[in-house]
Structure 1
Amino acid sequence: MAPFPVPPSVTAILLDIEGTTTPITFVKDILFPYIQDNVEEYLQKHWREEECQEDVRQLRLQAENDSGLKGFVPIPSEHEAELQVIKGVVDNVHWQMSLDRKTTALKQLQGHMWRSAYASGKVKGEVYDDVVPALNKWKEAGLKLYIFSSGSVEAQKLLFGYSIEGDLLELFQGHFDTTVGSKVESESYRRIADRIGCPTDNILFLTDVIYEAEAAREAGVHVAVAVRPGNAALTDEEKSKFHLITSFDQLNLSTTQ
């Protein structure tokens, strides 16, 4: 694919994570299986800590709301035996994950487990080989770098703070998650531009998702779509709408400075 000349107006680059900086398989094959395989051990180890108990309380509240769903897995009350409660939490977490649910309670527990896994070295955040050299190049060129991902800001910082390339957090000026709005809504990108303190025309967004690309462009943001191994295939029509890149090396900054 041809190099992408970055528009001269661009002063900030906004990056998606999955399929853009990081293989989609990292989440699917590493992060989620880690939760499934280690949730029981994690609960047993941290059971008497307030943070863990709060996670369980939130999961129990979610379970109560889910009681009418098919296949519902209840969580015993706090008055039941510890092992029984832990088993209920484990079964409930497995059930939610089997349905690919994104409940706040589940994400909260997952976030705490991943934090522990990263800190202990059991998990390291994956990035494509071309990512770190490009980030360093862009920062040296005076561009400001930001992340916008559906994963929480905490999860983003864990991935880049404990990456296979070391701590990359110093390369970024800020992080945004869906608390700023959906990634497929143009208003989210306007809010980000406002928080960054620049017009949308000063931002280049890199993503692998066409719906996100369309929302960003509607907001006046420049866009390039990442085509990486394992990403969803694009139709010919979708390919014709945006500039495509297979590597960050293809971003030509010569016209920006």
Structure 2
Amino acid sequence: MTASFAVDAVVLDIEGTTSATGFVVDVLYPYSRARFGALLAERGGEPAVARAIEQVRAELGDPGAGLDRVEETLHGWLDEDRKATPLKTLQGVIWAEGFAAGDLVAHFYDDVVPALRAWHAAGVRLYVYSSGSVAAQRAWFASSPAGDLLPLVSGLFDTENAGAKQEPGSYRRIAAETGVAPGRLLFLSDRPGELDAARAAGWLAVGVRRPGEPYFEQGVGDHVEAGSFDEISVSGSGSTV
């Protein structure tokens, strides 16, 4: 069964929605873990890195925490899969360079790229809202197996520029930033708490439920459910796909 929506924009989660969580956990997390120490020691003066270090220290309540403790904290957050902004910032720096160097190629489910291209061609704007940093998102979409997908994307949002993904205020902020009325925004995610927050902000929402993903057994609550992007139809600018 296909779920149909008349919208001006689709906002995409990444992990579990466009892409396999397992790729992030099994490939990207170890890649960043192995490089945190060198990044902190060698590039701590760079603005993005310095800001993240100070954010970690603030989270610890210890302004004088040494880089060893900062790195240890990052590793702990990684083990917890904690969506901490400084962790995501530093991962984004590392991953962006890995993608640029050709060490990494992003994963997308087979149904995703054709749908994104069709929706974009139909006049529907595409945005990304992920707990991963904007830098990581940009590198991810620029380094897909199908080539650079960034020309399809109108904007990128993370927990730093939009807010926490389970807070309705974050979705109101994105609506204001994009200039799209909440009722004309469709959010795709595998996480029920995020779908609830989007709906509370007046958005439309679809739970993407893929076998093997962490939230598959939990389901998507009372939200519309799709097993792939092939089961979602969106219309924009007078066209339907």
Q: Within 5 A, what are the aligned runs for 1:173-252?
A: 173-178=154-159, 179-231=161-213, 232-235=215-218, 238-239=220-221, 241-252=222-233
Match of 1:24 in 2: 21
CA distance in 2, matches of 1:176, 1:60: 22
Alignment deviations for residues 55-99 of structure 1 (CA, whole Å, 9 cap, x no partner): 47964884697488xxxxx747xxxxxxxx7xx776565455345
Match of 1:34 in 2: 31
Q: Is the 8 A contact 1:16 1:149 kept in 2?
A: yes
CA distance in 1, matches of 2:60, 2:130: 27
The percentage of aligned residue pairs carrying the same residue is: 39
CA distance in 2, matches of 1:252, 1:43: 43
Q: Flag the 1:94–1:133 CA change in 2: closer, same or farther, 3 A.
A: same
CA distance in 1, matches of 2:43, 2:186: 46
| 1:51 Cα deviation after fit | 2.9
| 1:164 Cα deviation after fit | 2.0
CA distance in 1, matches of 2:182, 2:55: 40
**Any gaps of 5 or more consecutive residues in structure 1?**
69-73, 77-84
Q: Flag the 1:213–1:234 CA change in 2: closer, same or farther, 3 A.
A: farther
| 1:194 Cα deviation after fit | 1.4
Alignment deviations for residues 102-130 of structure 1 (CA, whole Å, 9 cap, x no partner): 55544443222212211111111111111
Match of 1:143 in 2: 124
| 1:152 Cα deviation after fit | 1.3
| 1:213 Cα deviation after fit | 0.8
Q: Flag the 1:249–1:166 CA change in 2: closer, same or farther, 3 A.
A: same
Give the aligned CA root-mean-square deviation in angstroms.
3.1
| 1:37 Cα deviation after fit | 3.1
Deviating 4+ runs (over 6 angstroms): none
| 1:253 Cα deviation after fit | 3.6
Q: Is the 8 A contact 1:24 1:230 kept in 2?
A: no
CA distance in 2, matches of 1:242, 1:185: 17
TM-score, structure 1 length as denominator? Answer: 0.77
**Any gaps of 5 or more consecutive residues in structure 2?**
none
SS at match of 1:173: strand
Alignment deviations for residues 127-155 of structure 1 (CA, whole Å, 9 cap, x no partner): 11111100110011111111111111111
CA distance in 1, matches of 2:122, 2:105: 28
Report the count of equivalent residues: 234
Q: Is the 8 A contact 2:209 2:226 kept in 1?
A: yes
Match of 2:134 in 1: 153
Which stretch has the larger CA shift, 144-153 or 102-111?
102-111
Letter in 1 for 2:111: D
Alignment deviations for residues 186-231 of structure 1 (CA, whole Å, 9 cap, x no partner): 2221221111112111111111011111111122111111011332
Q: Flag the 1:185–1:103 CA change in 2: closer, same or farther, 3 A.
A: closer
Match of 1:3 in 2: 2
SS at match of 1:206: strand
Letter in 2 for 1:27: V
Q: Is the 8 A contact 1:11 1:202 kept in 2?
A: yes
Match of 2:46 in 1: 51
Alignment deviations for residues 152-195 of structure 1 (CA, whole Å, 9 cap, x no partner): 11111111112222111000111111231221122221221111
Higher alpha-carbon Rg: 1
Letter in 2 for 1:152: S
Query: Are residue 12 (structure 1) and residue 9 (structure 2) matched?
Result: yes
